[in-house]
């Protein structure tokens, strides 16, 4: 079974702190994603990576950056956390394009609270 | 991605079949129909996907209308563990880059009664 793990389930940080959210997948997937999920807004894509050191902005990249130094690991960085970044953060991965690898595998999520 | 419409909520009894509908009248020829579900306090989980023909897997069945403008996710015997929000999503399988993203709507909240 594919496993996507996230470094923390719950995190509380102060405004202005630098925050690192880590995601690791064990299926050698090329593509990895960071989403955030908020009530009434659904899942929104923050950043996407299709290969090591490659990244693309999603729909809401402002205030975030990412790092992908190794294929299995994709990190989301909040340079200076703000209260409007309080959210559930979900990491996902998927294989290369093709019918059999269509599904995205999600991690359990990190609920981040910025005070 | 084309839009989907699902009921906000549905209720079922344990061990009975559940039919979760999804309308997607603007679906294009290259759009696959995906279903995901999200259990409480967990990340979304892939359920099934298909293009034109009905599909079965160990979790569910997917029935796709002949004109592809609607589909139904079928859980053959609901259990309490199936209580979740179910999302119907259209994806153009030929698109790449950040179009790999999944656009989740509000989904259907399924309640399973014991």
Of A50, A103, A106, the CB nearest to B97: A50
Across the range A77-86, mean pLDDT stands at 97
Asked if B46 and A31 come within 8 Å (Cβ–Cβ), the reply is no
CB contact under 8 Å between B102 and A48, yes or no, is no
Give the mean pLDDT of chain B.
90
State the average pLDDT over residues A77-93.
97
Two tokens, residue A112: 């981040």
Is any Cβ of chain B less than 8 angstroms from the Cβ of A58?
A: yes
pLDDT digits (tens, 9 = 90+) for B43-66: 999 999 999 999 999 999 999 999
DSSP string, chain A: ---EEES-SEEEE-TT--EEEEEEESS--SEEEEEEEETTTEEEEEEEEEETTEEEE-S--TTEEEEEEETTEEEEEESS--GGG-EEEEEEEE-SSSGGG---EE---EEEEE-
pLDDT digits (tens, 9 = 90+) for A18-67: 999 999 999 888 889 999 999 888 889 999 998 899 999 998 999 999 99
B21 in A contact zone (CB under 8 Å): no
Q: What pLDDT is recorded for position A9?
A: 94
Chain B residues with CB under 8 Å of A105 CB are: 46
Is residue A100 scored above 50 in pLDDT? no
> Are B98 and A58 inside 8 Å of each other by CB?
yes
């Amino acid at each position: 079974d594919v496993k996507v793990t996230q470094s923390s389930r719950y995190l509380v940080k102060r405004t202005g702190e630098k925050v690192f959210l880590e995601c690791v997948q064990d299926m050698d997937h090329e593509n990895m994603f960071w989403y955030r999920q908020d009530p009434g807004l659904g899942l929104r894509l923050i950043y996407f990576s299709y290969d090591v050191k490659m990244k693309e902005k999603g729909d809401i990249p402002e205030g975030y950056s990412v790092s992908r130094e190794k294929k299995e690991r994709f990190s989301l960085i909040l340079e200076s956390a703000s209260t409007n970044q309080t959210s559930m953060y979900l990491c996902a991965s998927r294989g290369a394009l093709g019918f059999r690898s269509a599904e995205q595998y999600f991690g359990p999520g990190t609920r981040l609270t910025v005070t | 991605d084309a839009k989907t419409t699902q009921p906000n909520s549905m209720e079922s009894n344990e061990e009975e079949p559940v039919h979760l509908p999804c309308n997607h009248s603007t679906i294009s020829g290259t759009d696959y129909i995906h279903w995901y579900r999200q259990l409480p306090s967990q990340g979304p989980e892939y359920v099934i996907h298909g293009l034109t023909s009905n599909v079965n897997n160990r979790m569910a069945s997917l029935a796709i209308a002949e004109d592809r403008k609607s589909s139904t996710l079928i859980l053959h015997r609901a259990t309490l563990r199936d209580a979740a929000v179910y999302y119907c999503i259209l994806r153009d399988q030929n698109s790449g880059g950040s179009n790999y993203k999944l656009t989740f709507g509000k989904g259907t909240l399924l309640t399973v009664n014991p």
